[in-house]
Structure 1
Amino acid sequence: MTTKAPPKKAVILAAGFGSRLRPLTDLRPKPLVEVNGTPILHNALGHLEAVGVENVTIVVGYRKDAIEYACGKHFGGLEIDYVESSVFDRTGSAYSLWLARDALLSGDCFLLEGDVFFEEDALHHLMIGQATDVAAVAPFTESMEGSAVLLSDGGLITSFRMKQTAANLVANGPRLFKTMNLLRFSATTLRTMIVPTLNDIIGSGAWQAYTEELLANLVERRGLRLAAARCDDLKWYEIDSTEDLLIAERIFTRAPAFDRAGVPNERRTKL
């Protein structure tokens, strides 16, 4: 099976409050919350470096100084740039992505949300096959909530369904897959579809739109062929609440840890 070269660039959206994780986020941003001793953001950066990414742009807002201190200008071999959202408290993730449009226009790119804890192999799954635009997905289970997608027989995402819960898992209904908020886009798609559509959304005043709404618009109305990378066999979890954090810590009973320099190190595992 064909494996593509990894993008040299990645964008991570890490500006939000993380209010559902309080009190853990009273003094630190959600991307620095730890899963078994490893901050969510450090886990992502360590894996991006491992697959060959060289530069990461992080969109920051809430407690931005803490993220900049924890990651620095270099994390291991990664060069880190920061883009600040001064209106993070009243905008959605699409606005944060729009702020990073210069990075999106610099070539092929990984796009990550800053609240997903995942295995390195999830990024490798995004590089397998002929598709140039790929989203990581996994079966939607009863413990999950949020955006979901439907897939074609050929493995393309055909539509998005927002605000899904266990109640939407209907017997004999269409099989739902959870979007993992890990994506890879080609330079052409970023230049001709994603950034222009972001300009339209933000220009129209829809500052509270989410990235999933952007993708739904592109797939359902503008013809984006977004392939699904099935990650059924991998460990991952999106962490929005304290309950999510407990689930993630059970899934990753021993998570890899990266220090501030991006070097793996051993830490005490929470059991």
Structure 2
Amino acid sequence: MIKQAIILAAGMGKRLGKYTQDGTKCMVRVNDRSLIERSLSALEAAGIHRVVLVVGYRAERLIAYLDGKFPDLELIYVTNEIYDKTNNIYSLWLAREYLAAEDSLLLESDLVFEPELIADLVADPEPNLAMVSKFEAWMDGTVTLVGEDRDIVAVVDKRDFKWRNVGDYYKTVNIYKFSAEFSRTYYLPFLDAYLAAFGDNVYYEQVLKVLAFLDNAKLKAHPVSGRHWYEIDDPHDLAVAETIFAPPAQRLANMQARYGGYWRFPGMLDYCYLVNPYFPPERMLDEIKSSFAELVTQYPSGARVQSVLAGKVFGVDPDRVAVGNGAAELIDALAGLWQGRMAIPSPSFNEYPARFGPGRTKVIPTGERLSYTAVGLEAAMTDADILILVNPDNPSGHFMNEAETKGLVDRLLAAGKRVVVDESFADFAEPAIRFSLLDDAFLVGRPGLAVIKSISKSYGVPGFRLGVLASGDADLVDAVRKAVPVWNINSMGEFFLQIVDKYKADYRHACDSLAAERAWLAGKLSGTGRLEVFPSQANYLLCRLTDGTLSRDLAESLLAEHRILIKDLGGKPGFPTGQFIRLAVRGREDNEKLVGALEEAHGGKSRP
């Protein structure tokens, strides 16, 4: 049974800036506890009795900080007096006598991890192990190649890293288990040789690179098997770690506050933000990748060229269409150009009230079923100048058909009103009722109409940040273009507009596939016995919880227990009595996981 661990904690942690001005890197707190407290607690729980800490920067503060905190652990301090001139290979060399004396765990001090990782490593019967994790996009540093029987067959440093081989790599977690025999026979002799040859400003992982070539060294991999861990090198790493290791309520709040960037959380299913899971096709992605280097190194075109491209895609005269960095940019510009009071069904897309402001916003209640008719909307316009119609609406998915929508537009225009039709989700309607007002023949002669569409949502490319605004009023469109930066669209977004016409058939098929999957998912969600699913023609489903569960508690449970992020609509204005959530429609495999998680997830009961 392993009783000793060595922690390397001499570094300065410069990249953490203000967080390490007055203390060591391992004293940085992740939520309620410091890194070193978390590590020592995990070691103690796994049966470790002695911990050797190699200290350097702010050593006296770390020693004082730990004084009395772990009375059942024997803490031994080894000081690296030249911590600012050496790297971790020298710190480890200073602890060589302890490493040679008995079987040991070795770990870095800038890690946060689930405590079970240490217990799992100790319980692994193999005597010499490097903990590894399948490589993911957020990782950096030394990686390994793992062969049969978990043998580490190669250690790859940054200089030799090849992105084309990323599927074969396992990142070192920087937690190891070495037997005393392994340390004496292999590791320490090579450590001495490496120091003599290359000096003390390199990393101890370089020694593992050499040992990987020795058949009899037998260093094996211990995969983390889905448990959470994170290496903290800078403030953004800290922010991510504080989300991963937060209590459920805080984890959900932190995740919601990010508004995206979820690739930093591999394995999480995002049912909150809305995309098209069936587009772009692989062939289109390959085309984009083939031009990636050129697109990254060249400037995009200006706004006028973007209008020409969008006009080609949507069949609209370039004078009548402007391209935005997402629809949100265009909504903001329009709100500044169109004066007067706007009216919008509630609940709806928050960006419109946020841009027009509370003093210029009239809310149209939608009742128990969150639905409305053209007649009702028209009647509500007596004291408003602009109608905002999101069709299908967000978050309800409520949809007005073509005849009803066009009739409403014409009647309001004839009455001197103006209309915004946001059809960001219209392409997901069932094929038989799908329609668009992005049509020159309809726009011409209707200068009081503006049509907005989020390409990011409908075409499944939110990272490109694309949206369009079209109107028969060419002066309005020109004013919108002038209200946004001339280079508001990056080269990747422009290239997408340039080539998307070639994939029109793929896009139609993708939208049809989503409509079919929506129907399947709606049936399965209803079958859970805990959800009332509202009719939807969008790429999401609005659900009312019928089993007394609080929407917030369900959202926390799904994220904590199943790594599924949903849209909790609790507290959003405009809803009738009840608990509501919104669920995106994804592909079948993900949707099956969602349904299974909903059947298992628990949640607090609402108060009577």
Task: Give the match's secondary structure for 1:250.
Answer: helix
Q: Please give the alpha-carbon distance, in whole angstroms, between the structure 2 residues aligned to 1:229 and 1:146.
A: 18
Indicate whether 1:59 and 2:64 are aligned: no
| 1:69 aligned to which of 56, 60, 64 | 64
| 1:179 aligned to which of 172, 177, 184 | 172
| Cα displacement (A) at 1:127 | 2.8
Question: What are the within-5 Å matches in structure 2 for residues 200-219 of structure 1?
Answer: 200-204=193-197, 206-219=199-212
| Aligned sequence identity (%) | 34
Aligned to 1:263: none
Question: What are the within-5 Å matches in structure 2 for residues 115-126 of structure 1?
Answer: 115-126=110-121
Task: Give the match's secondary structure for 1:53.
Answer: coil
Is this contact kept in 2: 1:32–1:41, CA < 8 A? yes
Aligned to 1:137: 132
Structure 2 segments unaligned to the other structure (5+ residues): 255-608
Q: Deviations over 1:188-230 (max 9, x none)?
A: 1011112222222223351112021121122225742111111
Which residue identity lines up with residue 92 of structure 1 in the other structure? Answer: N
Aligned to 2:245: 252
Aligned Cα RMSD in Å?
A: 2.2
Aligned to 1:262: none
Which residue identity lines up with residue 33 of structure 2 in the other structure? Answer: T
Structure 1 segments unaligned to the other structure (5+ residues): 256-267
Which residue identity lines up with residue 199 of structure 1 in the other structure? Answer: D
Q: Please give the alpha-carbon distance, in whole angstroms, between the structure 1 residues aligned to 2:196 and 2:163.
A: 36
| 1:146 aligned to which of 126, 141, 150 | 141
| Cα displacement (A) at 1:244 | 0.9
Aligned to 1:50: 45
| 2:234 aligned to which of 219, 233, 241 | 241
Which residue identity lines up with residue 42 of structure 2 in the other structure? Answer: H
Do the aligned partners of residues 250 and 173 (structure 1) sit closer, same or farther apart at CA in structure 2, a change above 3 Å counting? closer
Which residue identity lines up with residue 188 of structure 1 in the other structure? Answer: E
Is this contact kept in 2: 1:137–1:177, CA < 8 A? yes
Aligned to 2:182: 189
Runs of 4+ in 1 over 4 A off after TM superposition: 268-271
Task: Give the match's secondary structure for 2:132.
Answer: strand
| Cα displacement (A) at 1:72 | 2.3
Indicate whether 1:36 and 2:31 are aligned: yes
| 1:232 aligned to which of 225, 229, 236 | 225
Q: Deviations over 1:3-60 (max 9, x none)?
A: xx3x111100000010110011111110100111211111110110111111110000
| Cα displacement (A) at 1:135 | 1.1
Aligned to 2:94: 99
Bigger proportion of residues as helix: 2
Tell me whether 142-151 or 200-209 shows the greater mean CA deviation: 200-209
| Cα displacement (A) at 1:173 | 5.6
Q: Please give the alpha-carbon distance, in whole angstroms, between the structure 2 residues aligned to 1:143 and 1:189.
A: 32
Is this contact kept in 1: 2:191–2:204, CA < 8 A? no
Q: Deviations over 1:126-146 (max 9, x none)?
A: 134432101111111111111
Do the aligned partners of residues 164 and 32 (structure 1) sit closer, same or farther apart at CA in structure 2, a change above 3 Å counting? farther
| Cα displacement (A) at 1:164 | 7.6
Q: Deviations over 1:133-187 (max 9, x none)?
A: 011111111111111111002211111111289x9443x7652111101111111
Which residue identity lines up with residue 200 of structure 1 in the other structure? Answer: A
Is this contact kept in 2: 1:148–1:162, CA < 8 A? yes
TM-score of the two chains, using structure 2 as the length reference: 0.40
Aligned to 1:90: 85
Task: Give the match's secondary structure for 1:138.
Answer: strand
Which residue identity lines up with residue 245 of structure 1 in the other structure? Answer: L
Which residue identity lines up with residue 30 of structure 1 in the other structure? Answer: K
Which residue identity lines up with residue 142 of structure 2 in the other structure? Answer: S
Q: Please give the alpha-carbon distance, in whole angstroms, between the structure 2 residues aligned to 1:223 and 1:174.
A: 27
Q: Please give the alpha-carbon distance, in whole angstroms, between the structure 2 residues aligned to 1:208 and 1:138.
A: 26
Aligned to 2:9: 14
Task: Give the match's secondary structure for 1:89.
Answer: coil
Indicate whether 1:113 and 2:124 are aligned: no
Is this contact kept in 1: 2:135–2:167, CA < 8 A? no
Aligned to 1:259: none
Is this contact kept in 2: 1:150–1:174, CA < 8 A? no
Q: Please give the alpha-carbon distance, in whole angstroms, between the structure 2 residues aligned to 1:111 and 1:254.
A: 28
Is this contact kept in 2: 1:125–1:230, CA < 8 A? no
Task: Give the match's secondary structure for 1:123.
Answer: helix
Is this contact kept in 2: 1:126–1:135, CA < 8 A? no
Do the aligned partners of residues 198 and 120 (structure 1) sit closer, same or farther apart at CA in structure 2, a change above 3 Å counting? same
Bigger proportion of residues as strand: 1
Q: Deviations over 1:52-86 (max 9, x none)?
A: 11111000000001110111276241110000001
Which residue identity lines up with residue 123 of structure 1 in the other structure? Answer: I
Which residue identity lines up with residue 237 of structure 1 in the other structure? Answer: Y
TM-score of the two chains, using structure 1 as the length reference: 0.86
Tell which structure's C-alpha radius of gyration is larger.
2
Q: Please give the alpha-carbon distance, in whole angstroms, between the structure 2 residues aligned to 1:231 and 1:44.
A: 16
Which residue identity lines up with residue 64 of structure 1 in the other structure? Answer: A
Which residue identity lines up with residue 233 of structure 2 in the other structure? Answer: D
